[in-house]
Amino acid sequence: MTATINACIDQLTIDLKAGLGPDFTDEVFDFRTIQSEKKRAVAISHLATEPADKTMGGIGRRYEFALYMTHRHTGTLDSLRVAERGINALENQIFDTLEGSKNSLWKQLDFHRASIKPGPPDEPALRYGAVFFRLLLK
């Protein structure tokens, strides 16, 4: 039986909490949000389900995900720098944590497109970015 979306989100949450820890984030959410009052947060979001093609190993299914990263700041130049560099460090640690990830639910995790760090969102005290990947299920 193929792993469910929610089972994969649960495992990703466990992996990210263990790999990021308090040095990189204050919270890992298993749903899409940027409403956290935490200074640094990551939110996991399922984007799509697709049949796997031959380049991903044959018959099967893959889930596409985004990790939304947020870092609050006070608006001073120093806090803006800390937030921007915090997002960069968080992204590096996400790659280190998940790259090559395999377990009982998926056989491959692929960072298949560029991450993004758009300009300021509607909430001016927040820096944010997103990392995209897909899971090829077992």
CATH value at residue 48: 3.30.2000.30
Q: How confident is the model at residue 33 (pLDDT cuts 50, 70, 90)?
A: confident
How many domains does the chain fold into? 1
Tokens of 14: 């466990």
Q: What stretch of H or E contains 18? A: helix 5-24
Question: 36: pLDDT confidence band, cut at 50, 70 and 90?
Answer: low
Mean pLDDT of 8-25: 94
* pLDDT for residue 34 is more than 70: no
Q: Please, what's the b/e burial string for 86-101 (b: 16 or more CB within 10 A of its CB; e: otherwise)?
A: bbeebbebbeebbeeb
Look up the domain containing 31 and give its range.
5-137
